[in-house]
Chains A and B, each alone.
Chain A
Amino acid sequence: MDLLILLTIISKLTFYMGALFASGTVFYLTFFETNQARTAFNGRQLTIQFAAIGLVSALSVFALTGAQLTGDLAGVLDAEILGILFETPVGDALIIRVLGFSLIIIGFFAGKISDGFKISGSIIVLSSFFFIGHVGDLPGFLFAVLLVIHLAGIAIWVGILFPLYRLSSDPLQFTTTEKIAHQFGRWALYFVPILLIAGGWLAYKLVNSFENLFTTGYGQTLLVKVVIVTGLLGLAACNKLRFVPALRAGDVDALKHLKFSVLVEIILVFFILAVTAVLTSVQILPETHHQ
């Protein structure tokens, strides 16, 4: 694997983390955060950091795509090549991403209208994925909607992880952790099946046949992603069915179990995003999509 591809994969990974964790933490701050939780977890600072990482990564993904067109790192500064690239959907995606991340950051300094800025910035960042990448190759408005639903579901899921990890590390936040984890579990009953159905349908349309799932590099990499997602679902089920009910029953040890489970979830999310970065950087769609 050459250096340019490796740098592109790393930039895409940090971009995915920035986009999902920034928008996810915005969703947490808007829908789940309580006054008590605010004393133990500073979601504002973390969101701004992830939005800044996403912004820088979006610019570097764009510049590295330019470098792939010249075959050397000097391409990141090649004005002519970057100008040509800017005229394509990659340029549209860059504008939308810069706008989205900027709105999220500005939202924290926008007073009364801050929630509007942050939420619209998050949705704009998530929508940018349709302009670039393999799902954009699929025809029709339905796939755009499915992709945004899929990504918004993932963002809500990953957005709860850092706050929940921090809260479950503090025994003084026992009641707050229990309340937020329970509320999230109730939401998850609705949005997790929706995000899985949307993701499964998109994957089926991208791979095009059950056979391609096993016989093409794209299909095989997608299978790896599905295996890790299955592990994540297993942990989520443990949280929902064992640790959170134990918390509600007053079991102090359940806080440690929940903390460990959330930490493993964070690690698995990292690897799911890494596999996704590989999928979108080096794997081509099965042949039928090129015709």
Chain B
Amino acid sequence: MNHFLKLLTLVSFGTAVFSQALAHSDIEMTIPDNEAILEEVPETITIHMISKVRLTKVEMQYEDHPIVKIDISEYKKFQKEFTLTIETMGAGIYGIFWRALGQDGHPMNGSFTFTVIE
């Protein structure tokens, strides 16, 4: 009987955790596009969401430099479009990571990258 319970627990646990986490994909488009290749570093980035959200955190990583916070203090309302000023650091790969709150209370997050070539 104990063996049966152990087996049942293992099988149930296995099936319960098999699902992998999925990133929320509530973003409509970004400027620059995800994986865009640019000739110069943009001064701003723009995020268009499918529905109104409140941005709670945006960070940028340039190459293997430390992650820096992007100022979002001017956005204090739920809205669909956000244009943010970024620090220009030269040619290389830029990663943007964002977190937001949907009006229904769902937390969301996502990221996009772009590359600047000489």
Which A residues contact B (CB, under 8 angstroms)?
1-2, 5, 65, 68-71, 81, 84-85, 88-91, 93, 132, 136-137, 217, 220-221, 224, 227-228, 260, 263-264, 267-268, 270-271, 274-275, 278, 282-284, 290-291
Contacts and interface: CB of A to CB of B under 8 A. Distances in A.
Most chain A C-beta atoms within 10 Å of own C-beta, residue among B9, B16, B102 = B16
Interface stretch (B29-37, B39-47, B48-56, B87-95): B48-56
Given A217-B22, A282-B21, A283-B22, A65 B107 contact: yes
Given A260-B1, A267-B5, A284-B25, A228 B15 contact: yes
Binding site secondary structure of chain B: mixed
B99 A69 contact: yes
In order of increasing CB-CB distance, the 5 nearest A-B pairs are A90-B105, A88-B105, A271-B12, A68-B107, A69-B56
Given A71-B99, A84-B101, A228-B12, A290 B19 contact: no
A291 B18 CA distance: 28
B87 to A, nearest CB: 19
Q: How large is the interface on B (under 10, 10 to 19, 20 to 34, 35 or more residues)?
A: 20 to 34
A71 B105 contact: no
Contacts of B19: 217, 220-221, 224, 278, 282-283
A70 B101 contact: no
B79 to A, nearest CB: 14
B18 A284 contact: no
Contacts of A69: 56-57, 99-101, 107
Given A70-B57, A267-B8, A224 B18 contact: yes
Contacts of B12: 228, 267-268, 270-271
Most chain A C-beta atoms within 10 Å of own C-beta, residue among B12, B20, B59 = B12
Contacts of B104: 88-89, 136-137
A217 B101 CA distance: 22
Most chain B C-beta atoms within 10 Å of own C-beta, residue among A90, A91, A93, A132 = A90
B85 interface: no
B3 interface: no
20 contacts: A1-B20, A2-B21, A65-B105, A68-B99, A70-B57, A70-B99, A71-B59, A71-B97, A81-B56, A88-B103, A88-B104, A89-B104, A132-B105, A136-B104, A217-B19, A217-B22, A224-B19, A282-B22, A284-B22, A284-B25
Nearest to B25: A284
B26 interface: yes
A84 B56 contact: yes
B8 A1 contact: no
A271 B18 CA distance: 12
B13 A271 contact: yes
Contacts of B50: 290-291
A275 B105 contact: no
A290 B51 contact: yes
A5 B21 contact: yes
B105 A89 contact: yes
B24 to A, nearest CB: 6
A271 B16 contact: yes
Interface in B69-110: 97, 99-105, 107, 109
A116 B117 CA distance: 70
A136 B8 CA distance: 33
A228 B8 CA distance: 11
Given A5-B21, A69-B100, A70-B99, 11 more contacts: A69-B56, A69-B107, A70-B57, A71-B57, A71-B109, A88-B101, A228-B15, A264-B5, A271-B13, A275-B15, A284-B22
